[in-house]
Amino acid sequence: MTDFLSFAVEYLPEILAALPVTLGLWVLAMILGFTLGLLLATGRLYGNRVVYGLSTAYVEIFRGTPMLVQMFFIYLGLPEIGIVLDPFLAAFVAIGMNSAAYQAEYFRGAVRSVPPGQMMAARAIGMTRMEGFRSIVLPQAMRRVIPQWTNEAILELKYTSIAYAIGVSEITARAEKIGNTTFQFFDVFLLLAVIYVILTGIVAQVLQIVESRTAIPGVNR
Amino acid sequence: MAKLLEVEDIRKSFGSTEVLKGVSLSLDRGETKVIMGSSGTGKSTLLRCVNRLDPADSGHVRLDGEEVTDANVNRMRQRIAFVFQDFNLFLHLSARDNITIGLRKLRKMSKADARQRADRELDRVGLSDRADNYPSQLSGGQQQRVSIARALAMDPDVLLFDEPTSALDPELTGEVVSVMQSLARDGMTMLVVSHEVGFARRAADAVIFMDGGHVLEEAPPKEFFSAPKHDRARQFLTAIGEGEAA
Amino acid sequence: MIFDIIIDHLPYLFGGLWVAIQLLVALLAVGFVLGIALALAEVYGPRPLRWFGMAFERVFRGIPEIVLLLLFFYGLGDFYPIEPFPAAVLALGLRSTAYQSQIFRGVIQAVPRGQMQAARAIGMSRAQAVQNIVLPQALRQAIGPWTNEFSSELKATSLAYVIGVVELTRQGRYIISSTQGNILVVFAVIALMYFVVNWLGNRALYGLERRYAIPGYGETR
């Protein structure tokens, strides 16, 4: 135990030096996932047959296959057709595109869970469909989506570790490197696990505060 | 001669509220007694203390002279059956299997025997044709009759009823009450918490009136409904439309 | 040309798929048994067990799969040698335990209280009531959320790649390095295989759910 603590004290700074890479990857991927996810959700909710079909196929494919395979496809495969991405960029695109498929489903579910009477009431006071969607339906849907989005954010934070498999030097890769030089694999990966638990714990706490701040009395779920 | 069921000086508190303040009563074999009183007077709690669904803080419950304790409670509950206000049929089992499960798991009866017994009990409550239905496919009255059949199948010495008709639509109470009346006629020993005055008049040997965690009076139904001794009882009867005003 | 390569390597791909499925079944089985035990301990057990369960869930849900895999393979390897496959079963199985116990805890707690009371009232012990009344109802309700867990673990098996389990994804990498190319096609075929297994699994579980559905049960709550 004291061995582990002294090990942790010695190598924590080295692992944490890679934290900006992990967090940067995470935030950028979430933003890509959010934007693309909204587009996909809109496509599935309001698109014509072609748009609906394409966005549905996208969602099904990305949710039905492993992210590691998607990442290899993008990082190793795309250069075959001339698209060469460095590891960080490839990981960012892969995680973001994967997350988009999940976020799209959360958005879609949330929009559909807003009672139809809300849109009717918006139309009844003279709003257009677009206005009704933007100022009545969407704000309610967004609040409903926050709990799921919180989950997704934590999942994605953990998924950034997969970028290690294509050589992004985030914290998992850094920990493995330390293991390779010290041969104290158990200590270093235990330390890494502790870091992730604390990290996801902090994110969960912060997002929970956001959740309670944005809650509407009586509108739950 | 010892009574079949003896309840002696039961006390029960929830938090700082004392709900039962020393309640005693007893039943001879074949007797039916109805407990009445305003809501919040501890009637249901008393009933739940009798078969230890809520263990009493102090006091004794004896069946045939044997005290109900934590150690023997599972065996004693098979002899002191309980019918719930909201039926509590097992939701994943058909009407028939609601009855067979106790027989098979507790009495270790064979599948065929349990089935035969279940069908007999269903017949007794008039639901032979509903044996394969699930609870959600039955009306409230039918569910309550199945739950009575479930209780009867265990061959209990005493049946406890906790407001068996109060969760039912008015037009469905009749079928349950008539099943209970025929049980009383057949000599079943029953302790019933209920406001069904008709049932009390026709089937009860005594009405027990509870108020504020005490038994205020116990009298034959005729006497109780025509000349209650306590003001509280009179007010109660007026409130349910049975007093001199009615 | 491309098709020849795929067809030539199909036995390897199916071999890899078979390993992935074995890993999936093993880890889900570990998670199922321990997950139910943990859920029961959390719902019915004494307080220390409850705390242990909560802590276990929190920790194992907070650590990325890859980190668990590295910890259980290289980390445990510091103390005694462990093969990649059992290490993967252990790492992913314990993680699945955390997720499955959450599922089971939820459905056990969703069984109406009156069910337990009615079972006790006819003379069943707590254990008998749990076994005969609570679990049969809870497990039926668990199939839906469990289907998600199935999908997520199927995809997680690909991560065992990083500790050298020769499952489907690693077979793909082998084929790519031995044929010098065809990366897009190989990964597309691999993705398709995951997709089909996922689809079949979901169909089967949906069938199971319908087969054991009780008329009117769980529809209103």
What is the residue extent of each domain of chain C? 2-211
CA dihedral of A82, A88, A89, A90, whole degrees rounded to 10: 60
Residue C218 has pLDDT above 70, yes or no: no
What is the CATH topology of the domain spanning C2-211?
A: MetI-like fold (1.10.3720)
Residue A220 structure tokens: 């739950």
Measure in Å the smallest separation between the Cα of C87 and chain A Cα atoms: 13
The verdict on a CB contact (< 8 Å) between B134 and C214 is yes
Nearest to C66 among A61, A73, A162 (CB): A162
Least CA distance to B151: which residue of chain C?
C122
Residue span of the structural domain in which B10 resides: 5-239
Contacting partners of chain C (3+ CB pairs under 8 A): A, B
Residue A220 lies in a domain: no
Residues of B in contact with C125 (CB under 8 A): 74
Measure in Å the smallest separation between the Cα of B77 and chain C Cα atoms: 5
Tell me the mean pLDDT in the region B33-50. Answer: 94
Residue B244 lies in a domain: no
CA terminus-to-terminus distance, chain C: 56
The verdict on a CB contact (< 8 Å) between C62 and A185 is no
**CA A15 from centroid of its chain's CA atoms:** 22
Residue B226 CB burial class (10 angstroms; 0-12, 13-18, ≥19):
exposed
Residue A34 has pLDDT above 70, yes or no: yes
Residue A1 structure tokens: 């135990």
Residue B244 has pLDDT above 60, yes or no: no
B90 touches chain C (CB under 8 A): yes
Chain C interface disruption, residue of A70, A73, A80, A168, most C CBs within 10 A? A73
Torsion angles phi and psi, residue A83, rounded to 5: -100, 105
C203 touches chain A (CB under 8 A): no
The verdict on a CB contact (< 8 Å) between C118 and B91 is no
User: What integer pLDDT is reported at residue C221 of this predicted model?
Assistant: 40
Summary mean pLDDT of chain C: 93
Of the pLDDT bands very low, low, confident and very high (cuts 50, 70, 90), residue B187 is very high
Of the pLDDT bands very low, low, confident and very high (cuts 50, 70, 90), residue B199 is very high
Residue span of the structural domain in which A79 resides: 2-214
Tell me the pTM. 0.89
SS3 content of chain C, % helix, strand, coil (to 5): 85, 0, 15
Q: pLDDT (tens digit, 9 = 90+) per residue, A57-93?
A: 999 999 999 999 999 999 999 999 999 999 999 999 9
Residue B152 lies in a domain: yes
The verdict on a CB contact (< 8 Å) between C187 and A162 is no
| Cα–Cα distance measured from residue A104 to residue A127, given in angstroms and rounded to the nearest whole number | 26
Tell me the mean pLDDT in the region B125-145. Answer: 95
| Cα–Cα distance measured from residue A160 to residue A168, given in angstroms and rounded to the nearest whole number | 9
| Cα–Cα distance measured from residue A40 to residue A45, given in angstroms and rounded to the nearest whole number | 9
Q: How many domains does chain A have?
A: 1
Nearest to C62 among A73, A187, A200 (CB): A200
Chain B interface disruption, residue of C113, C116, C122, C219, most B CBs within 10 A? C122
Contacting partners of chain A (3+ CB pairs under 8 A): C
Residue A96 structure tokens: 């973001």
Residue B183 has pLDDT above 60, yes or no: yes
Residue A221 lies in a domain: no
Q: How many domains does chain B have?
A: 1
Helix ranges (H only) for chain B are 43-50, 73-79, 95-105, 111-124, 140-153, 170-185, 197-203, 221-226, 231-239
| Cα–Cα distance measured from residue B173 to residue C193, given in angstroms and rounded to the nearest whole number | 60
Contacting partners of chain B (3+ CB pairs under 8 A): C
Q: pLDDT (tens digit, 9 = 90+) per residue, C1-26?
A: 677 888 888 999 999 999 999 999 99
B106 touches chain C (CB under 8 A): yes
Q: pLDDT (tens digit, 9 = 90+) per residue, C140-182?
A: 999 999 999 999 999 999 999 999 999 999 999 999 888 877 8
User: What integer pLDDT is reported at residue A210 of this predicted model?
Assistant: 83
Tell me the mean pLDDT in the region B183-199. Answer: 95
Q: Please, do chains A and B touch (3+ CB pairs < 8 Å)?
A: no
CA terminus-to-terminus distance, chain B: 40
**3-class secondary structure per residue, C52-102:** HHHHHHHHHHHCCHHHHHHHHHHHHHCCCCCCHHHHHHHHHHHHHHHHHHH
- Give the start-end residues of each E strand in B28-76: 32-36, 58-63, 66-67
Alpha-carbon distances, residue B170 vs A68, B166, B173, B238 (angstroms): 63, 9, 6, 20
Which CATH number does the domain housing residue B179 bear?
Answer: 3.40.50.300
Which CATH number does the domain housing residue A15 bear?
Answer: 1.10.3720.10
φ/ψ region of A167 (left if φ > 0, alpha if ψ in -120 to 50, else beta) reads: left
The verdict on a CB contact (< 8 Å) between B150 and C122 is yes
Q: pLDDT (tens digit, 9 = 90+) per residue, C33-50?
A: 999 999 999 999 999 999
ipTM above 0.95, yes or no: no
